[in-house]
Structure 1
Amino acid sequence: MTTKGPISQFVTEHYKHFNAATLVDAAKAYEQQLEQGNKMMITLAGAMSTAELGKSLAEMIRQDKVQIITCTGANLEEDIMNLVAHSHYRRVPDYRDFTPQQEWDLLEQGLNRVTDTCIPEEEAFRRLQKHIFEIWKAAEEAGERYLPHEYMYKMLLSGVLEQYYEIDPKNSWMLAAAEKNLPIVVPGWEDSTMGNIFASYCLKGELKPSTMKSGIEYMTWLADWYTENTQDNGIGFFQIGGGIAGDFPICVVPMLYQDMERTETPFWSYFCQISDSTTSYGSYSGAVPNEKITWGKLDIKTPKFIVESDATIVAPLIFAYLLGW
């Protein structure tokens, strides 16, 4: 094992109790999973791409610290938007004091606010729209169908966006994933800006819905991938936030052994969730890991961690530890 850098040494020395201690425990257990030859899935909910998680996640991908990612459609596209339009983003640290009129003024300026960061619609969405439409259309005319992330990979690897790059490309996790052809699952992709744009072309008769592969096809692909990759080793589950990005892929295990009756299907070998959701009634994001035992997702012996804190703070620290920073 390589010598840990100053960030790792700091958290190891100072993060001794409560959520801080759980952060270190989860990071060490993640590292042990990889050392044992297990693979790891990272799931991204929230606005982690707009929070520029790519600064650490891209290196995690390059160093094989993650073998598959599940993310929302927003995280899939917003990393690329940051890649091509970063200088046009606007930070508004006083957003908590905004009046409805000030929010309306942002809309009229083409600035879509995500907490304290405004995404520039014209520079971000529109710079991508022309190029992704051409890729969608070309596939349809060739009688081909792909999953949402595969179209994004085609666009990134084609080089058509290089003219727009506004950050160091090494900080784009989507570009790192495309270059590695990392498996990605994007449940509920329709609930994203690009999903809405695709739907608009379908409404105008310029594209067919069938040109885009569906969420069911993501699940059937994931079922095959999980089965193949658990023949000799386990797969861990590192969940950032909650929602569909976490709930969709974790369900592949009970689906395989309950619905497919493949009783030899192993449980996830590790589980960690970073969430600021409080334990609540009926909320998946607020469910403690033990609840997942009753749904056939985790084993009694599965290492389980929940860091009840802001993922924009916690995830980069855990990634830094894993990268030896």
Structure 2
Amino acid sequence: MSELSKYLRGPRIAPKPITKGVLADDLIDSTFFAYNAGKLARGCRLFVDKMLADDATVGLSIAGAMTPAGLGVSTLSPLIQAGFVDWIISTGANLYHDAHFGLGLALHQGSSEWDDTKLLDDGVIRIYDVVFPYDVLLSTDAFIRRILEEPPFQKTMGTAELHHLMGRYLAEREDKLGLQDTCLLTVAYRAGVPIYVSSPGDSSIGMNVAALWLDEKGPTIDVSRDVNETASIVYDAKRRGGQSAVLIFGGGSPKNFLLQTEPQIQEVLGLPEAGHDYFLQFTDARPDTGGLSGATPAEAVSWGKIDPS
């Protein structure tokens, strides 16, 4: 064969031994060549080389039980503090369970094999292999209801304002407990990064808002404000000549709420736009089931959510 096949022009797989003290970027470049590791390496390069450009606005969506496992503090908060994330869509559950850490409440490693009827008898809650006392829920609920009765919450607001105010009160509690940056709400509050929830009633935070509503107390959540605010973040970034990037952990409602900003701009408001510029998703969902969680960026192109260029 006189000329190398076009299929053999990719980088050569030339692994190096993993040694003591290897840095994360060296590990990815020198050992992550194929299978899901290869995809992860390409994702890392996309994030660093393209999505972190000065003119790129990065939206992050969070689904699945990330924060009970400690991934809020260990993984997501550093992204916010480094200035790598500009706005966030989360499930309410991730914010609620992350608040346990801000209140100094303990979650423990457990086992997914334990008998749940015995856990119920012992007053222990299980999230796969994470366990904690039922009192953790009651203490968190009591804190949320108490702050939601404060004057700043007695009005109609979007979820970004709700979570900003919650972050302020949680930061005050952290200070009293001698803690620092123990949950997403406090980190985002200090960084000025808005956090939206796509389904405000679908979590214990929303349940406590609903309980106070029965007594004509607390905030009224305006979901239309959230739809328009998130679309305006994307439209403003693109109109200023910048780019929009989406970083997706999991899928579900937060993923859709993040991506629907483009159909809101183009399809509903009738404004000229081409879609988000960069799409990076980490998920265990499959595309062949038809659910959005596993839907590929190629499919999103057909909706106008992603710019094909």
- Indicate the TM-score class for this superposition, using the shorter chain for normalisation: 0.7 to 0.9
Residue aligned with 1:285, SS: helix
- 1:316 maps to none
- 1:311 maps to none
- 2:75 maps to 56
RMSD across aligned positions (CA): 2.4
What's the CA shift string for 1:233-273, capped at 9, x where partnerless?
A: 0110111101001011201101211111102x241110011
- 2:4 maps to none
The one of the two structures with greater contact order (alpha-carbon pairs below 8 A, sep at least 6) is 1
Tell me the amino acid that sits aligned with residue 84 of structure 2: K
Mapping 1:183-262, distance limit 5 Å:
183-203=194-214, 205-207=215-217, 211-230=219-238, 231-262=240-271
Aligned counterpart for 1:103 among listed residues 88, 91, 116: 116
Q: Distance in 2 between matches of 1:50 and 1:128?
A: 14
Deviation of the 1:113 alpha carbon: 1.3
Report the CA distance shift for 1:288/1:143 in structure 2 as closer, same or farther (over 3 A): closer
Q: Distance in 1 between matches of 2:45 and 2:287?
A: 25
Report the CA distance shift for 1:259/1:178 in structure 2 as closer, same or farther (over 3 A): same
Aligned length: 285
Deviation of the 1:182 alpha carbon: 0.4
Q: Is the 8 A contact 2:66 2:94 kept in 1?
A: yes
Q: Distance in 2 between matches of 1:250 and 1:79?
A: 24
- 2:59 maps to 41
Q: Distance in 2 between matches of 1:165 and 1:108?
A: 31
Tell me the amino acid that sits aligned with residue 236 of structure 2: E
Residue aligned with 1:47, SS: coil
When Rg is computed on C-alpha atoms for both structures, the one with the higher figure is: 2
Q: Distance in 2 between matches of 1:105 and 1:169?
A: 35
- 2:97 maps to 78
- 1:113 maps to 126
Residue 130 (1) aligns with residue 178 (2): no
Q: Distance in 1 between matches of 2:95 and 2:43?
A: 25
Unaligned ranges ≥5, structure 1: 302-325
- 2:17 maps to none
Unaligned ranges ≥5, structure 2: 1-20
Of residues 145-154 and 280-289 in structure 1, the stretch that sits farther from structure 2 once superposed is 145-154
- 1:22 maps to 39
Residue aligned with 1:189, SS: coil
- 2:306 maps to 298
What's the CA shift string for 1:127-174, capped at 9, x where partnerless?
A: 33333323322348x8523334533432432344227758x5345332
Deviation of the 1:195 alpha carbon: 1.2
Deviation of the 1:279 alpha carbon: 2.4
Tell me the amino acid that sits aligned with residue 107 of structure 1: L
Of residues 290-299 and 109-118 in structure 1, the stretch that sits farther from structure 2 once superposed is 109-118
Tell me the amino acid that sits aligned with residue 192 of structure 1: S
TM-score by length of 2: 0.83
TM-score by length of 1: 0.80
- 2:8 maps to none
Q: Is the 8 A contact 1:132 1:151 kept in 2?
A: no
Report the CA distance shift for 1:281/1:131 in structure 2 as closer, same or farther (over 3 A): closer
Q: Distance in 1 between matches of 2:194 and 2:163?
A: 12
Q: Distance in 2 between matches of 1:298 and 1:31?
A: 19
Q: Distance in 1 between matches of 2:230 and 2:53?
A: 24
Residue aligned with 2:297, SS: coil
Q: Is the 8 A contact 1:234 1:266 kept in 2?
A: no
